[in-house]
Every structure is written in structure tokens, then in C-alpha cells.
Amino acid sequence: MRASELYAPTLRESPAEAELLSHKLMLRAGLIRKAAGGMYTYLPLAWRTMKKIMQIIREEMDAKGGQEIMMPVTQPAEIWQESGRWAVYGDEMMKLKDRHGREFCLGPTHEEMVTTLIRGEVRSHKQLPLMLYQIQNKYRDEIRPRFGLMRSREFVMKDLYSFDKDIDGMNISYKKMYDAYSKIFTRCGLNFRAVEADNGAIGGGHSHEFTVLAPSGESSIAYCENCDYAASDEKAELKVIKAEVEELKPLEKVSTPNCHTIELVKNFLNVPIEKTIKAVAFQDDDGRLILAFVRGDHEVNEIKVLNAVEGALHLHMAEDSAITAVGSCAGFMSPINLKDGAIIVADSTVMEMYNAVAGANEVDAHFINVTPKRDFPAEKIIVTDIRMVQAGDPCPHCGAKLKMTRGIEVGQVFTLGNKYSKSLNATFLDESGKETYFEMGCYGIGVGRTMAAAIEQNNDADGIIWTRAIAPFEVVVVPVNAKVTEQLEYAEKLYDELKSAGVDVLLDDRKERAGVKFKDCDLIGYPIRVTVSPKTLESDLVEIKIRKSGEVSNFNRADCTAQIKNLLTQL
RNA sequence: CGGGGUUUAGCGCAGUUUGGUCUAGCGCGUCUGAUUUGGGAUCAGAAGGUCGUGAGUUCAAAUCUCACAACUCCGACCA
């Protein structure tokens, strides 16, 4: 490919619409252009990279027995109504009607599609396991698309769906995909972690998110440097912290004027923050009041609270009226002496406290010498882990201190069990001739997001730094002055030679000044730049610059192709 | 959906407060020519704008009023 024919409109300044570094770089380097909010055109450079990522994905999927198929993007409403998700997905789904008024959606995912595909056709356990995958556009009408390709409304996604005859088989498929994902992201040159994730209401399963570590990421994860434990902040398990046993002192009410935050109480009463109990009030969709209590220096993990309360689907902050209804008041809540009607959830660590400070359920007053085991016994309340992980908390596997970081979720593996086979009535006959639901799994990778994450993780002030495996071109050959026939011809020969040697190479034959071309090369981020100039040409040398390290060296023309191929293996 | 901001040439912006001097500028980019040629050149010339859309106020609107839209940030939400 010749740069003079390549459509890669680079920009000197970055458009105002971009905030995120990878988004800016993709616009500046001529990788993408926006068509509408959350919808992008992938220009040749981006598409080359995406094709390479997709190829890596295909190879690893196929290696595990996956078979690629192509399904319609437009899906009939019926199958979604059948699974019950037409309403669940709600406004997040792009919906449309055909000329007859029949309803469709643009698929946000394809569980319904693939399950109805095999239903009735895969009839025997002998046909299992089965793994089908697709790489295609998916649609999600995000409330707020942002960050360029990170959160867009139309995106390229790989999804593989596994069908097994039983849970054991499903777990084997899951493991295969977990391994494949590790290989894929390693091959893409990404620094990532497989993070234990919440798989919500779907029972019986596991889920891992594959998260690329980057400070700009949307998800917050806790990880252990000592072992391989990593979990999303919402999921991270925490063990009870036991306080030193103390002699119990009698409960006492004290005046604490205007001390409606933990910080104020702590200072006013001059107690350590670890000896205070913090309260957060929620209500669920049915209006039930849920009071959550954690130690003063901890934060409440809403997801854990939600999971702890039977029947709760969503939580929101409680209305003041609901709090007063149970005889308490905001800022001074505690589980002591409350009227009936509140669901009380206490963090396990709270139950281990002695002689602590908690609200007195009246304005400007707190209890001191609160000992939860004595003053609000565990029998009447829910006691479990509901705190949000913090840096320094002990790892649940090995006990070492956890670290916190941010990341970009680029893939997720998920067991589904029989959720969809059941709701869509997809069965086969097992060994004993019994009709059985498929045990399924689904495994997604955001292709565009993977590209964006790679840029987010690998860049410098001059631009993108591609890993060789997913670079739009591996090598760029630059004659410093393409108007000089001698240089151009020399560069062309080199280019032909590299091409024949199987190198993915671009010839920058544009009649631009050297500075312009160099800036573009750095911005676009080709791993290796080969420069042809009068300086080196005379002595039959070629100059090779490594984008990542900035290292420049000269090689003899005769063996430079071999040298380049060798260098590429390290990039 | 709530709150803020923005919308003027391909891109980045000024001009709006105080309506007229705006026949709307500047930088970058683009085109033509010349000189240049190892890190986004210089000179000369040129093209390019329904000032987001619609309505209104006024002798007069990029500028004031109202409505709407798009984009964007924060929040809520998120398989």
C-alpha cells in the first residue's frame, strides 16, 4: 500500500468533541470519523487494525471448536417477547417497524436469535457441545454515548454462544473460553486482568470481565499483586475485620449538635473513625426502607446491599418521610430503638465492634458505647458483607493487601445456565431419553473497544504506539524526499522486498516534506519506520527507527529485511 | 431523565456583554505558482460561511426574546 493512495486524513489539532485520549488520537490519526452520536465510520487504518483483532479472535475461537456464523442484525420482536426481554431491555433497544407494522429491533445481543436457531434442530446430546460465534454490529441505544468507541451505540462485537448437555459441560466450555480470551488479549499486546464479576440474577454461574488496565477506564477494580485475584469493586469479597474485645460499657445517649456527618461526630466526640457506625438509607421499587450500616471509615456497596435483600430489584436513596416513619431522622440513624418497618442490613464488620458511636434516631444526638452484638442482635437483622472494597483491604484469597485501579472492560465470559433455553423452550434428549434444557454460556468481546483500549494503554505525546500484532501496518518505508527519483526508487525496491518477505508494509511516497511525514508516522504509530535518505543511501545503509523506544539504528541494505523481521518479533 | 456548557469556513477559535463601523475575522488546513526539502517550511495569490433551525422584536440581528435541535460535560442509569 502506498501512502499517496491511502485515505488517512490526519489532523494537526484534535477536534473539540473528544475528551478521552484514545478518542482524540483516533480522530487525529485519521482512524475514525463520527457519523452521529455514538456512531462512527472506521476509516482504512482503523479497519485494518480491527480486521487484525478479529482475525486473532477467529483463530482462538476456532482453536477451541467455535464455528463462525452470521446472523441478522435485525431481529423480530417475537423472540424477545418470548424470552421476556422485550420489555426488560426497554429504551436501550433500537426498535423499528417494517411497512406492515411488524416490530423489530436492531440486536443488542443475540441469545434469543441463536437459541431459536438451534432449538428444534439440535435434538440429541450427541450433537453437543456446540459453540457458535459471530462478529458483527450490535446496537445499544445508550442513554449517554461517550468516549468515542468506548461507549458507542453501534459497535462491532464478537459473541460466542456455547450449548452443553449439563453444568459440567458448560463449565468446560467456560474454561475454554476463559483460556481463549487470555490468549487473545495477550496476543493483542494488552496489559489486562481477568476480573471476577457480578453475574447478577442469573444463577449457578461464573463471570469474568477481561479488563485492560488504564487510569481512564470506566470500571474500578481491586486486584492482588501477590496472587492472581482480581474483582470489580462491586464484586470484591471482603472478610470481617475483628476489633479487639473490650469490656462492655453501658449504652448512653449524648448530645451532638449539628453533627450530621461521621466526620463531624468523630471530631466532636473525639473518637477514632473506626469506632463510628455510618448509616445509609435506601428504598427499593416497592418503597420498602432499607437501612445499611457500615463502619464509619467504610463505604456502602449498593450492589451487595441489593443482593442481600430478598426481592429487591433496584435501590434509590430514601425519602426523608420514609426515615421519619420508622422513628428516625437523616444524619442520626442507627438500628437501635427503631419502629418496625425497616429492613436493617449491617456489615459483618459492624457486628464485631465494641463501644462504638451510632446515631440516636433523634436530631443532634448519638449513642455512645454501642456494641452491636448486644444492642441490635444479628437475629433480627441481615448481617453480611456490604462494604465497598478500598485499597489496602486484604485479598480474600491470600490476605495480601489489595490495590485499586481503573480499567476498560473489553470482554466478558458468562455462564447462562438454562435461562434462555428455558424461556425459549430449547431442549434436547439426553442419554436417558429425557428432554433437557441446554446449559448455555455467552462470551463477548468488543472489537472497537479493544482497539481503543490498546491506544489508551499505548501512546505518548507524539501519538499512538501500536503493538505489531494489531498495527494497521507493521512497517512504514519513508523516502525523505519522494520527489528525488533515486530515493523513491530505492525505497520502492525496499518496499517490494519487505512485501515479498511477508511484512505488512506501507510506502510513504507522498510528496510531502520529511517533517510532515515523520509527524504522521509517529501519530499513526507504525511499530517500525524505515527511512531512506541521501545520508544513508550513499553508503547503502538503511535507517530503522523503533516507534516504541525511539531507538534509531542503521543496517546494511543487504540484510535489513532480515533485521526488520527479527525486530518485529519483539514488538 | 436532571443540571451546566457549546453551536460562526474542512479543523481550532475570536466577534455576542453595550444591535449599525461585520459586505463577519484570525490560526491551521485546502488550491495555484515560485523558492525550499531529515521533524508539521517561506513568499505571492486564490477558493471556501443559509453565523445550528424556526419564529419574533427592530429602520437595522452573528449580537436581543422565545421555541426547538444537535453536540458536549457532570449526575442518575447500564447485558
Least confident of A10-14, A216-220, A511-515: A216-220
pLDDT of residue A199: 63
For residues A369 and A354, the answer to whether their CB atoms sit within 8 Å is: no
Does domain A473-569 match CATH 3.40.50.1000? no
pLDDT of residue A405: 87
User: What average pLDDT does range A134-162 have in this prediction?
Assistant: 91
Query: Which segment, A294-308, A330-344, A476-490, is predicted with the most confidence on average?
Result: A476-490
User: What average pLDDT does range A215-234 have in this prediction?
Assistant: 85
User: What average pLDDT does range A497-515 have in this prediction?
Assistant: 96
Whole-number Å distance between alpha carbons of A569 and A566: 6
For residues A539 and A557, the answer to whether their CB atoms sit within 8 Å is: no
DSSP structure class, residue A270: T
Nearest Cα neighbor of A495 from A531, A471, A459, A466 is: A531
**Model confidence at A200, in pLDDT bands (50, 70, 90)?**
low
pLDDT of residue A520: 96
User: How many beta carbons lie within 10 A of that of residue A244, not counting itself?
Assistant: 6
Question: CATH homologous superfamily of domain A252-384?
Answer: YbaK/aminoacyl-tRNA synthetase-associated domain (3.90.960.10)
Query: Does pLDDT of A288 surpass 80?
Result: yes
Nucleic strand B contacts from chain A, 28-57, CB < 7 Å:
28, 34, 36-37
The mean pLDDT value of chain A amounts to: 91
pLDDT of residue A277: 92
Round and report the angstrom distance from CA (A323) to C1' (B34): 82
C-alpha angle A551/A557/A561, rounded to 5°? 70
Sign of CA dihedral A559, A560, A561, A562: positive
Whole-number Å distance between alpha carbons of A367 and A374: 13
Asked if A461 CB < 7 A from strand B, the reply is no
Whole-number Å distance between alpha carbons of A346 and A336: 12
Share of chain A above pLDDT 90, in %: 62
Asked if A233 CB < 7 A from strand B, the reply is no
User: What average pLDDT does range A367-390 have in this prediction?
Assistant: 89
Query: Does pLDDT of A35 surpass 60?
Result: yes
Q: What is the ipTM of this complex?
A: 0.92
DSSP structure class, residue A388: P
Least confident of A117-121, A222-226, A565-569: A222-226
pLDDT of residue A128: 96
Asked if A485 CB < 7 A from strand B, the reply is no
Round and report the angstrom distance from CA (A108) to C1' (B70): 25
Nearest Cα neighbor of A414 from A202, A167, A130, A110 is: A202
Asked if A251 CB < 7 A from strand B, the reply is no
Smallest CA–C1' separation from A463, nucleotide: B40
List chain A domain ranges.
3-236+404-455, 252-384, 473-569
Nucleic strand B contacts from chain A, 512-551, CB < 7 Å:
513-516, 518-523, 531, 533-536, 543, 545
Query: Which residues are within 8 A (CB) of A479 and not within 5 positions of it... i.e. 6 or more apart?
Result: A487, A488, A490, A491, A508, A509, A532, A533
Round and report the angstrom distance from CA (A95) to C1' (B11): 35
Asked if A201 CB < 7 A from strand B, the reply is no
pLDDT of residue A305: 86
pLDDT of residue A190: 95
3-state secondary structure A49-88: HHHHHHHHHHHHHHHCCCEECCCCCEEEHHHHHHHCHHHH
Query: Which residues are within 8 A (CB) of A11 and not within 5 positions of it... i.e. 6 or more apart?
Result: A27, A28, A30
Place of cell 525486530: A567
Smallest CA–C1' separation from A27, nucleotide: B11
Query: Which residues are within 8 A (CB) of A174 and not within 5 positions of it... i.e. 6 or more apart?
Result: A162, A206, A413, A415, A441
Query: Which residues are within 8 A (CB) of A30 and not within 5 positions of it... i.e. 6 or more apart?
Result: A7, A8, A9, A10, A11, A43, A45, A524
Round and report the angstrom distance from CA (A513) to C1' (B41): 8
Nucleic strand B contacts from chain A, 401-440, CB < 7 Å:
409, 412, 414
User: What average pLDDT does range A290-313 have in this prediction?
Assistant: 85
pLDDT, tens digit, 9 for 90 and up, residues A316-329: 778 778 888 888 88
Query: Does pLDDT of A202 surpass 60?
Result: no
User: What average pLDDT does range A495-506 have in this prediction?
Assistant: 97
Nucleic strand B contacts from chain A, 344-403, CB < 7 Å:
none
Whole-number Å distance between alpha carbons of A32 and A37: 13
Rg, chain A, Cα only: 30
User: What average pLDDT does range A457-484 have in this prediction?
Assistant: 96
Question: CATH homologous superfamily of domain A3-236+404-455?
Answer: Bira Bifunctional Protein; Domain 2 (3.30.930.10)
pLDDT of residue A118: 96
Whole-number Å distance between alpha carbons of A424 and A119: 8
Query: Does pLDDT of A537 surpass 70?
Result: yes
pLDDT of residue A429: 96
pLDDT of residue A204: 54
For residues A571 and A554, the answer to whether their CB atoms sit within 8 Å is: no
